[in-house]
Amino acid sequence: MSECIFCKIIAGEIPSQKLYEDNDVLAFWDISPQAPVHFLVIPKKHIAMPVDIEEDDDLLAGKMLRIGAKVARENGVADDYRVIFNNGSKSGQVVFHLHMHILGGKGKPWPM
């Protein structure tokens, strides 16, 4: 996906502040944070939206959640974070590469 900003980040064409990386996923700080701790976890495989996750992606989706929890713990919000996936432009999805927002350290109330 030559025009996908997250694919360009994965390829190293666009810099990011990486928090975690392996062969399957990448976690990095959000460039426009909405909470004291706000990072993204993305698969290296291009999947446009949550609705596009297929059965073959089950392990990858689970790994994203596990890595999100690990990085949250490493950044002091193990018991205080939200996990957000947006699916489609009407839900607020702007980048059409599956990504999971982890937001923490803000306390209640969270916007809905």
Catalytic residue among 38, 46, 97, 99: 99
62 burial type by CB count under 10 A (0-12 exposed, 13-18 middle, 19+ buried): exposed
The reply to whether 99 belongs to the active site is: yes
- Residue 38 in contact with residue 19, Cβ under 8 Å? no
DSSP letters spanning 21-51? E-SSEEEEE-SS-SSSEEEEEEESS---SGG
Q: Point out the residues that are catalytic.
A: 99
